[in-house]
Chains A and B, each alone.
Chain A
Amino acid sequence: MKVLVPVKRVVDFNVKVRVKSDGTGVETTNVKMSMNPFDEIAVEEAVRLKEAGTVTEIVAVSVGSAQSQETLRTALAIGADRAILVETAVETQPLAVAKLLKAIADKEQPGLILLGKQAIDDDSNQTGQMLAALLNWSQATFASKVKVAGANAEVTREVDGGLETLSVKLPAVITTDLRLNEPRYVTLPNIMKAKKKPLENLKPEALGVDPAPRLKTLKVQEPPKRSAGKLVKSVSELVEKLKSEAKII
C-alpha cells in the first residue's frame, strides 16, 4: 500500500512569535522554521507502517514556498521514499491545500493519507477533514493508535470525553494526535541519503487548482497581555488573598 503524507513548513514550536507592527501578520523573517510537529508524527507513523511491512511506499507532499523543500527533505530523512512540492507563493489556506492534495491523491492513488490534525501556525484543524470530504473517503481524526487490518483501519481517537475506536474503510484520511508516536531523531547518514531521494516540483496550475485564499485577513493583533501578579510567601497568605482580594473562594 502506498501512503501519502502531507507536511507543512511552520514557525518552530519553540519560537515566541511577534505580531508585525503594521498588523498584517506575524514576523516570519529570520525566524526558525520546522516541520509542523503533528506532521512529523504522521511521517513517523508512515515509516513505522512501512517497517512493519504494511506499507510499500511513502510519498511526502508539501504545499508552499520553495523553502518547503527543506521540510520535504526532513520527511525524506525520517524515511519517506520520495517527495512532491506544490510550489506557490500565495498564502495557503486549508480548502485550497485540500484541493491540491486531492489532485495529487487522484494521480498517486494512495491507500492511506496520514497528516497532522492541525498546523501550529494558523491552528485551523481543517485540511485532513476537507481532503477526506473532497475524495469522499472515510476519515479518522486525532488518532492515538492506528492499526491497518485488511480493507479497514482501526483507529483510536482522542476525543473530549476520552478515547473512541473507529473502523474506517480504506482508502482513508487519518489525522494524528500527540500520543500516536514519538518521532525518531534524524541521523546524519539519513540526512545525506535524503538529499539523493527524488523531489518533484509542481505548480498549482498543473493540477488545475486555484490556490487563492478565500478568507481575507483584515488585521492581526497582539492579544491582551496578562500582567504577572504577586508572589505570596505561604499557603496561608495565598488562602487569605483568594478570600479577601480575589474573592474567589
Chain B
Amino acid sequence: MSILVIAEHDNAALKPAVLNAIAAAAAIGGDIEVLVAGSQCSGAAQAAARVAGVKKVRVADAPHYAHGLAENLAALVVSIARDYSHILAPATSFGKNVLPRVAALLDVAQISDIIKVESPDTFVRPIYAGNALATVQSSDAIKVITVRSTGFDAVAAEGGAGAVETVAAAPDSGLSSLLGQELTKSERPELTAARVIVSGGRGMGNGENFRILEALADKLGAAVGASRAAVDSGFVPNDYQVGQTGKIVAPELYIAVGISGAIQHLAGMKDSKVIVAINKDGEAPIFQVADYGLVADLFQAVPELTSQL
C-alpha cells in the first residue's frame, strides 16, 4: 500500500501543515510518497525528501504549477493516482481547493478534515462546527483525504532520505491564471503553527487598537488572530480569522481578548491546551471554555498583562 501526500509549498520550502499530513499518512500505514508540483521547486522537493518517513518524492516542475492552480494540479495528481491507495493533503486553503477536484475526477468521495485514523478505511472528522464527531468509512478504491493539522503531531522535518524522482508535467489547462497576490507580511509566527496566540474580537473596537494585542504578542512570541466579527468589521485582514470556516488552531496558550465566544469561533480554537479569556462581559460564552477568565476592561488589562510578563 502506498500513500501520496500532496505538498503545499512556496517552491523553496514546505508549509508546516505538510508535516501533519505526513503524520496522518504514517498513522494509516504504508509507503509514504510526496508530490511536489511547482516551478523551480527543487528546494521544496529536497526538503520533502528529508522529512522523516518519506520514501519517495515525485517532482513535477513546470511554469504552470507555480501558483498551485487547482485545474492543473488536479489533472497532474489524477495522472499518477492509480499508484496509490490513499491521497492526502493538508486541510488548508490550498488542500481544500485542489483535493475535491481530484476526488471527483477519480469518481470517489472525499473525506474532509480528518482528525483521527481508526483504520485504513475509517476516519474521524468533525461536523457541525466541531459540535459532533463523525466516524466514517470509505469503500472507494482510492481514499482521498484532507487532514486537519491539529489532529496529528507533525513528523520531524529532518531525518529522512527519500528518493527524488521526476514526474512528467501534464499540459496547462489554460482555464485559470494568477493575476496577483496580497499576502500579509508578518514577523510573527504563522497562526496555525504558533505556540501562543493572542486573538481579538469585536470588543477591540477598531483596527488601531489591535496594537495593544501586538505588543502582548511580541512579548510572548505569539501570533495574532481574530474572530469573524473583527475581520468582518475590517479591523484586521481575513487571514487572521480563527473559526469554523477560518483557521483551526490548537496552540499551547490561546488568549481571547474582547471575544464573546460564538460557536463558530469556539470551533476554531477549543482544542487549545490552555485558554485565557479577557472580556468585560462576565456572561460571555467564552468563559465557559476558558481555563482562566478575567472579567475586565481589555484596554486596561491587556497593557497591564504585557507589562507584567
Point out residues on A near B: beta carbons under 8 Å.
Answer: 11, 13, 16-17, 19, 26, 38, 93-95, 98, 117-118, 120-134, 137-142, 144, 154, 157-169, 177-179, 213-223, 226, 228-232, 234-236, 238-239, 241-242, 246, 248-249
In the complex, the answer to whether B309 meets A239 with C-beta atoms within 8 Å is yes
Please give the distance in Å from A133's CB to the nearest CB on chain B: 4
In the complex, the answer to whether B301 meets A235 with C-beta atoms within 8 Å is yes
Residues of A within 8 A of B183 (CB): 161-164
Other than the given A129-B99, A242-B274, 14 more pairs (CB < 8 A) read A38-B245, A130-B110, A132-B70, A139-B97, A140-B176, A141-B97, A161-B184, A162-B239, A169-B175, A179-B232, A218-B136, A229-B291, A235-B301, A248-B273
Tell me, in angstroms, the Cα distance from A165 to B67 when the chains sit together.
11
Knowing A235-B301, A241-B292 are in contact, say whether A139-B101 is a contact too (CB < 8 A).
yes
In the complex, the answer to whether B293 meets A229 with C-beta atoms within 8 Å is yes
Residues of A within 8 A of B275 (CB): 226, 229
Closest 3 CB pairs of A and B: A130-B104, A229-B291, A129-B100
Residues of B within 8 A of A38 (CB): 245
In the complex, the answer to whether A228 meets B288 with C-beta atoms within 8 Å is yes
Q: Which partner residue on chain B sits nearest A95 by CB separation?
A: B109
Please give the distance in Å from A151's CB to the nearest CB on chain B: 12
Tell me, in angstroms, the Cα distance from A218 to B270 when the chains sit together.
25
Tell me, in angstroms, the Cα distance from A199 to B228 when the chains sit together.
35
In the complex, whether B134 has a CB less than 8 A from a CB of chain A is yes
Residues of B within 8 A of A140 (CB): 176
Residues of B within 8 A of A16 (CB): 131, 263
Please give the distance in Å from A234's CB to the nearest CB on chain B: 8
In the complex, the answer to whether A139 meets B238 with C-beta atoms within 8 Å is no
Interface residue from A94, A219, A229 paired with B135 (Cβ < 8 Å) = A219
In the complex, whether B71 has a CB less than 8 A from a CB of chain A is yes
In the complex, whether B152 has a CB less than 8 A from a CB of chain A is no
In the complex, the answer to whether B239 meets A232 with C-beta atoms within 8 Å is no
In the complex, the answer to whether A230 meets B128 with C-beta atoms within 8 Å is no
In the complex, the answer to whether A123 meets B128 with C-beta atoms within 8 Å is yes
Please give the distance in Å from B88's CB to the nearest CB on chain A: 15
Knowing A26-B132, A139-B70, A232-B292 are in contact, say whether A126-B112 is a contact too (CB < 8 A).
yes
Please give the distance in Å from A35's CB to the nearest CB on chain B: 16
In the complex, the answer to whether B104 meets A221 with C-beta atoms within 8 Å is no
Tell me, in angstroms, the Cα distance from A121 to B112 when the chains sit together.
13
In the complex, the answer to whether A169 meets B127 with C-beta atoms within 8 Å is no
Q: Which partner residue on chain B sits nearest A142 by CB separation?
A: B93
In the complex, the answer to whether B305 meets A162 with C-beta atoms within 8 Å is no
In the complex, whether B167 has a CB less than 8 A from a CB of chain A is no
Residues of B within 8 A of A128 (CB): 100
Between-chain CB contacts (< 8 Å), 7 pairs: A16-B263, A130-B110, A161-B239, A163-B183, A166-B177, A166-B178, A232-B292
Tell me, in angstroms, the Cα distance from A161 to B129 when the chains sit together.
22
In the complex, whether B12 has a CB less than 8 A from a CB of chain A is no
In the complex, the answer to whether B132 meets A19 with C-beta atoms within 8 Å is yes
In the complex, the answer to whether A162 meets B182 with C-beta atoms within 8 Å is yes
Knowing A16-B131, A160-B247, A249-B220 are in contact, say whether A223-B126 is a contact too (CB < 8 A).
yes
Tell me, in angstroms, the Cα distance from A215 to B178 when the chains sit together.
34
Report the stretch among B30-38, B41-49, B137-145 that lies at the interface: B137-145
Please give the distance in Å from B119's CB to the nearest CB on chain A: 11
Residues of B within 8 A of A160 (CB): 92-94, 192, 239, 247
Within B154-181, the residues touching A (CB, 8 Å) are 173-181
In the complex, the answer to whether B94 meets A121 with C-beta atoms within 8 Å is no
In the complex, the answer to whether B289 meets A166 with C-beta atoms within 8 Å is no
Please give the distance in Å from B258's CB to the nearest CB on chain A: 15
In the complex, the answer to whether A123 meets B126 with C-beta atoms within 8 Å is yes
Interface residue from B74, B105, B135, B140 paired with A217 (Cβ < 8 Å) = B135
In the complex, the answer to whether A138 meets B110 with C-beta atoms within 8 Å is no
Interface residue from A120, A218, A248 paired with B253 (Cβ < 8 Å) = A248
1/0 contact string of B57-97 vs chain A (CB within 8 Å): 00000000001011100100000000000000000111011
In the complex, whether B214 has a CB less than 8 A from a CB of chain A is no
Q: Which partner residue on chain A sits nearest B288 by CB separation?
A: A228
Knowing A162-B238, A167-B179, A223-B132 are in contact, say whether A130-B276 is a contact too (CB < 8 A).
no
Tell me, in angstroms, the Cα distance from A140 to B270 when the chains sit together.
30
Please give the distance in Å from A214's CB to the nearest CB on chain B: 4
Please give the distance in Å from B131's CB to the nearest CB on chain A: 5
In the complex, the answer to whether A126 meets B103 with C-beta atoms within 8 Å is yes
In the complex, the answer to whether A232 meets B177 with C-beta atoms within 8 Å is no
1/0 contact string of B235-266 vs chain A (CB within 8 Å): 00111000011010000110000000001100
